[in-house]
């Protein structure tokens, strides 16, 4: 699997942000799991796609919000309780799987006006720094690559817990949010409304609801 390969290569990854989702060796994670009570989080974790959501929301015609998500993605977490500064995270999203529950809108989002999924089949994120900002709240900065263009993005994270589910599977959870300006990645299509304003907001809210299981 792709994620197993990422884990095997984690220690040899370079330290500069790149479009690759390979884990950086010096990704800061001060305080992420420094509390001894969280030492059990140490290890490598894979996103459970069936129980996770990577979504977004945008204002449409000023007065309403349109939500969507991606139905195919991989993600990993590498958490180290003894050396939290070595923790990191990465995500690979398949752009063609964008889903807003409206087929015509999804085709437009996959087109060159927006994601240009044929030329750019993936969106990637790789963390570069993590800091604790509350008991269970963290701020992760990383490199987000869309349409071949990379810019920094900051994600606010809430650690929701560590459990063993009804099937005996150990899993952890994080909720995350971020706000980005889509024009930074040349997702700039728009139309002006007769009454003023834009058809689609330039500010996009990113939403993450992540359940991850230990990597085999």
What tens digit of pLDDT does each residue of 181-192 get?
989 998 887 677
3-state SS, one letter per residue, for 53-81: EEEEEEEECCCEEEEEEECCEEEEEEECC
Tell me what pLDDT residue 132 has.
Answer: 82
Q: What pLDDT was estimated at residue 67?
A: 93
- Give the Cα separation of 34 and 132 in Å (integer): 10
Q: Regarding predicted confidence, which is higher, 35 or 120?
A: 120
3-11 contacts at long range (C-beta below 8 A, 24 or more positions apart):
3/46, 3/74, 3/75, 3/76, 3/215, 4/215, 4/216, 6/76, 6/90, 7/44, 7/76, 7/78, 7/215, 10/44, 10/78, 10/88
Average of per-residue pLDDT across 94-121 = 95
User: Does the pLDDT value for residue 97 go beyond 70?
Assistant: yes
Residue 10 has pLDDT above 60, yes or no: no
> Mean pLDDT: which of 35-44, 121-130, 185-194, 200-209 is highest?
121-130
Distance CA 132, CA 30 (A): 7
Q: Calculate the average pLDDT of the chain.
A: 81
* pLDDT tops 50 at residue 33: no
Please tell me the predicted confidence (pLDDT) of residue 199: 66
Arithmetic mean of pLDDT, 11-20: 38
Residues of the chain with pLDDT > 90, as a percent, come to 55
Q: 37 or 216: whose pLDDT is higher?
A: 216
Query: What's the CA dihedral at 96, 176, 143, 133 to 10 degrees?
Result: 180
């Amino acid at each position: 699997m792709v994620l197993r390969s990422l884990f095997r290569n984690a220690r040899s990854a370079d330290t500069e942000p790149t479009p690759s989702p390979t884990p950086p060796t010096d990704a800061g994670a001060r305080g992420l799991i420094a509390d001894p009570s969280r030492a059990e989080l140490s290890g490598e974790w894979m996103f459970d796609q069936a129980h996770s959501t990577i979504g977004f929301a945008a204002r449409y015609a000023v007065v309403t919000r349109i939500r969507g998500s991606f139905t195919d993605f991989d993600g990993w977490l590498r958490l180290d309780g003894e050396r939290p500064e070595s923790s990191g995270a990465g995500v690979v999203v398949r752009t063609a799987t964008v889903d807003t529950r409206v087929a015509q809108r999804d085709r437009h989002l996959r087109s060159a006006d927006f994601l240009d999924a044929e030329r750019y089949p993936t969106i990637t994120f790789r963390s570069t720094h993590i800091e604790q900002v509350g008991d269970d709240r963290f701020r992760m900065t990383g490199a987000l690559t869309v349409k071949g263009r990379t810019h920094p993005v900051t994600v606010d994270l809430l650690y929701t817990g560590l459990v063993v589910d009804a099937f005996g599977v150990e899993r952890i959870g994080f909720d995350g949010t971020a706000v980005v300006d889509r024009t930074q990645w040349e997702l700039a299509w728009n139309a002006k409304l007769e009454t003023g304003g834009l058809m689609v907001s330039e500010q996009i809210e990113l939403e993450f609801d992540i359940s991850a299981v230990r990597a085999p």
